[in-house]
Amino acid sequence: MTTELSSSITILVVDDEASLRFFLSEELAGEGYQVYTAANGQEALALLKAQSMDLAIVDLQMPGINGLELMAEIEKMADPPELIMLTAHATLETSIEAMRLGAGDFLLKPYQVDDLLRAISRVMKQRRRKLQQRLAARLLAESLGLAELPEQRWEEKIEPAPPNPHCFVAPALVVDLEMMTVTKNGCPLSLTPTEFRLLATLMKRPNQPFTFQALAEIIHGQQVDSYQARDLLKSHIGRLRQKLGQTPAGQAYIANVHGLGYRFVAEERQQKLQLK
């Protein structure tokens, strides 16, 4: 199971039992994860301030700051890690509270390592989806530059932006990042999640190429070489182009960049917006 993907994931194990911390850190490190440990809530918070983590595995019963209190503090952070709760004494109330505080999963002690690894896999898939959504929203705001353009100048250059700020707009095409919908001439297009991610990624930088590898990493969550990336993308891009059809000017929305990757084709007016 050790992969380049797992080696990039940082995990914090928080438990007051030294033997359990050692066991988990050895097992998870053996799977390729970068593992940090903390003996209590105070140590965990100090570590989280110094080091960004993808996931925290938190014991419920600990002296001082208990697991639920620690999770509440973690959820206040600007970019909190995902959470998995461990407990030997689960109740319905504590389970509900853990989920309310952001726990992606919880396991009862004693548990099998395979169960924990499956829980980590599930929770990290959730994290990747959330991070992709945040990135898409931020890049949208940056690409449109609404905060930097004076209102009068904006009105002179292009039509008013749609009321939903989480949108990419191209000729006849609207991509709503929040609702994860795509419409062309007001009619919905049926895209797969992978096709949607590809389209949103390409549209965030109109006319600027994305390499095969960069796109493959975004949609598949792992690094591959250029040849593998091209193979992974070929069918997805083909189906996406077919569903999008042509722009009102009669050109394809997605163009090949020879030997490099793909780019989203923008009209001149959209190019001017990107340069302002």
- Please write the tens of the pLDDT for every residue from 69-122: 998 899 888 888 888 888 776 555 655 666 666 666 777 777 888 888 988 988
Mean pLDDT of the chain: 78
Assign domain 4-130 one CATH number from 3.90.1170.40, 3.40.50.2000, 3.40.50.2300, 2.40.10.10.
Answer: 3.40.50.2300
pLDDT digits (tens, 9 = 90+) for 236-248: 999 999 999 998 8
Rg (alpha carbons) of the chain, rounded to whole number:
23
Q: What pLDDT is stored for residue 274 in this prediction? A: 38
| Longest CA span, the chain | 67
pLDDT digits (tens, 9 = 90+) for 158-196: 343 334 446 788 888 988 877 788 999 888 999 888 888
Q: What pLDDT is stored for residue 271 in this prediction? A: 37
Other CB atoms within 10 Å distance of the CB of residue 243: 16
177 or 215: which carries more pLDDT confidence?
Answer: 215
1 or 139: which carries more pLDDT confidence?
Answer: 139
The answer to whether residues 232 and 242 touch, using CB atoms and an 8 Å cutoff, is no
The answer to whether residues 239 and 233 touch, using CB atoms and an 8 Å cutoff, is no
**Per-residue confidence band for 149, with pLDDT thresholds at 50, 70 and 90:** very low
pTM, entire model:
0.47
pLDDT over 70 percentage in the chain: 74
**Per-residue confidence band for 224, with pLDDT thresholds at 50, 70 and 90:** confident
User: How far apart are the C-alpha atoms of 97 and 95, rounded to whole Å?
Assistant: 5
253 or 1: which carries more pLDDT confidence?
Answer: 253
Domains of the chain: which residue ranges?
4-130, 161-275
User: How far apart are the C-alpha atoms of 97 and 272, rounded to whole Å?
Assistant: 50
Q: What pLDDT is stored for residue 147 in this prediction? A: 45
Q: What pLDDT is stored for residue 158 in this prediction? A: 33
Please compute the mean of the pLDDT values over residues 123-136 and round it to a whole number.
Answer: 74
Q: Left if phi > 0, otherwise alpha if psi is -120 to 50, otherwise beta: which for 173?
A: beta
Closest CA to 127 of 221, 205, 234: 221
Q: Is 275 exposed, middle or buried (0-12, 13-18, 19+ CB in 10 A)?
A: exposed
pLDDT of 255 higher than 90: yes
For residue 198, give both structure tokens.
């590809």
**Per-residue confidence band for 123, with pLDDT thresholds at 50, 70 and 90:** confident
- Asked, colleague to colleague, whether 4-130 and 161-275 share their fold, the answer is no
78 or 49: which carries more pLDDT confidence?
Answer: 49
User: How far apart are the C-alpha atoms of 25 and 35, rounded to whole Å?
Assistant: 6
**What's the distance, CA 120 to chain centroid?**
15
**Per-residue confidence band for 150, with pLDDT thresholds at 50, 70 and 90:** very low
Judge: domain 161-275, CATH 3.40.50.300.
no
The answer to whether residues 176 and 133 touch, using CB atoms and an 8 Å cutoff, is no
268 or 183: which carries more pLDDT confidence?
Answer: 183
User: How far apart are the C-alpha atoms of 161 and 155, rounded to whole Å?
Assistant: 9
H-only helix segments in 145-211:
151-157, 193-203
